[in-house]
């Protein structure tokens, strides 16, 4: 039988336990993400896959915020976050701290997501951009490389929070399998 | 240099070309999904990964709908869809048509998403459930198996559209790699 697990059977962490738990070495950077729904959704995904932190940059709103809470459902309190006025500063900071930083963008010489190779012991960051403009070109230029989610339909891109979900999942899967 | 591609360089399909293009053998079933944003977002993801169709069931709204359009951005016109009064009917229909159907749910004997094995030449469907209640137990019971996205944080589940994004991506990646 396939009985659905009760919430108590899911063995989810308390916020206190989450803070103490070892995270995957991944920071998610949001470069001018306008939608509060997208910000909240990224927090919720970051919580599920034990992401180290979310960097909110530029016009991206920060917690506490009622609209972020509606989609984060409290994950904005479990996942660590910082604010930077410009994503360029966030990327500089990450590179100085030894992170390999990938823009999630559709560029000429991008790494296709299935081909992304990660190494044990290294730290990574991924930058998600604005709903319309994507990641700023200046930020793309600062990153070590761009990672592209192959897409084959009629629309030019995925929703930001879905792109974040797919990339965070793929990094999580690869890092935990090393 | 990593210059971002212009929209014209992305070589996206027109709706007419999309209709003619070979899809991946995957149907996404939405069982009582309440949020129009989630419905629209699933259409947009289905468009990107050439999903065969979306089955909208129960209280799930159908196109044309202004709120669905806000997140689907037109993908509700490229991706084929059908409406069923109950997801049980949709799953029956799919099983009769030879599809292997997975509920995306957290159940005792679930297949963990990274362990999901797909076979060349077979057709698949995945069922995503209501934002609060998940997939109906009766529908879970009708499915061939449940697929679970491993989650390790404080919240009991991912947002429906993110869970859909992760599962559709994983099925797309696996089917196109066979």
For the stretch A112-154, pLDDT in tens is 999 999 999 999 999 999 999 999 999 999 999 999 999 999 9
The pLDDT mean for chain A works out to 96
Helix (H) or strand (E) holding B134: none
The full DSSP string for B47-110 is: HHTTEEEEEEETT---SS-HHHHHHHTTHHHHS-EEEESSHHHHHHHHHHTTEEEEEE--BTTP
Number of A–B residue contacts, CB under 8 Å: 186
Q: What is residue B132's predicted lDDT score, i.e. its pLDDT? A: 95
B41/A107 Cβ within 8 A: no
CA–centroid distance for A15 within its chain: 19
Nearest residue, CB atoms, B153 vs list A48, A71, A159: A48
User: Which B positions 16-75 lie with beta carbon below 8 A of chain A?
Assistant: 18, 21, 37, 41, 44-50, 71, 73-75
A154 vs B: CB within 8 A: yes
Q: How far is it, in rounded angstroms, from Cα B85 to Cα B107?
A: 25
- For chain A, say whether B165 makes contact (Cβ under 8 Å): yes
Q: What is the pLDDT along chain B (178 residues), one digit of tens a residue?
A: 589 998 888 889 999 999 999 999 999 999 999 999 999 999 999 999 999 999 999 999 999 999 999 999 999 999 999 999 999 999 999 999 999 999 999 999 999 999 999 999 999 999 999 999 999 999 999 999 999 999 999 998 999 999 999 999 999 999 999 8
Contact A74 B155 (CB under 8 A): yes
Q: Note whether B158 contacts A: Cβ–Cβ < 8 A.
A: yes
Whether A9 shows a pLDDT value over 90: the answer reads: no
Comparing CB atoms, the residue among A146, A151, A155 nearest residue B2 is A146
- Beta strand pairing call for A123-128 and A24-31: parallel
Q: Are A152 and B12 in contact (CB under 8 A)?
A: no
Q: For position A1, what pLDDT does the model report?
A: 59
Q: What is the pLDDT of residues A17-26, one digit of tens each?
A: 999 999 999 9
B1 chain-A contacts, CB cut-off 8 A: 108-109, 141
The average pLDDT across A31-58 equals 98
CA gap B159, A107 in Å, rounded: 28
pLDDT digits (tens, 9 = 90+) for B152-174: 999 989 999 999 999 999 999 99
The domains located in chain B, with CATH, are: 13-177 (3.40.1280.10)
Helix H or strand E segment including A48: helix A36-48
On whether any CB of chain B is under 8 Å from the CB of A7, the answer is yes
pTM for the predicted model, two decimal places:
0.96
Does residue A6 sit at the B interface (CB-CB below 8 Å)? no
Contact (Cβ atoms closer than 8 angstroms) between residue A24 and residue A171: yes
Residue B125, SS3 per DSSP: strand
DSSP letters along A102-148, please? EEE--BTTPEEGGG----TT-EEEEEE-BTTTBS-HHHHHHSSEEEE
For residues A161-172, give the mean pLDDT: 98
Q: Which of B75, B106, B165 sits opposite A10 (nearest CB)?
A: B106
pLDDT digits (tens, 9 = 90+) for A67-123: 999 999 999 999 999 999 999 999 999 999 999 999 999 999 999 999 999 999 999
- High-pLDDT (> 90) share of chain B, %: 93
Residue B44: its chain A contacts at CB < 8 A? 155, 158-159, 162
Q: What is the pLDDT of residue B1?
A: 59
Residues of B with Cβ-Cβ distance to A46 under 8 angstroms: 153
Chain B residues whose CB is inside 8 A of the A75 CB are: 153-155
A79 CB neighbours in chain B (<8 A) are: 153
Determine, for residues B2 and A109 on separate chains, whether the beta-carbon distance falls below 8 Å.
yes
Q: A114, B37: Cβ pair inside 8 Å?
A: no
Write out chain B residues lying below 8 Å of A156, CB-based.
7, 10, 12
């Amino acid at each position: 039988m396939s009985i659905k697990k009760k919430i108590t059977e899911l063995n989810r962490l308390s916020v206190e336990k989450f803070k103490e738990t070892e995270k995957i070495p991944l920071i998610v950077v949001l470069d001018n993400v306008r939608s509060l729904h997208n910000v909240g959704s990224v927090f919720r995904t970051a919580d599920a896959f034990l992401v180290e932190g979310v960097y909110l940059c530029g016009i991206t709103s920060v917690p506490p915020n009622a609209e972020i809470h509606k989609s984060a459902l409290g994950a904005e309190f479990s996942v660590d976050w910082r604010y930077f006025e410009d994503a360029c500063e966030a990327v500089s900071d990450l590179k100085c701290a030894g992170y390999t930083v990938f823009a999630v963008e559709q560029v000429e010489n991008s790494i296709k997501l299935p081909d992304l190779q990660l190494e044990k012991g290294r730290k990574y960051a991924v930058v998600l951009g604005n709903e319309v403009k994507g990641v700023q070109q200046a930020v793309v230029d600062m990153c070590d490389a761009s990672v592209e989610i192959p897409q084959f339909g009629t629309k030019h891109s995925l929703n930001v929070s879905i792109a974040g979900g797919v990339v965070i999942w793929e990094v999580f899967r690869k890092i935990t399998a090393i």
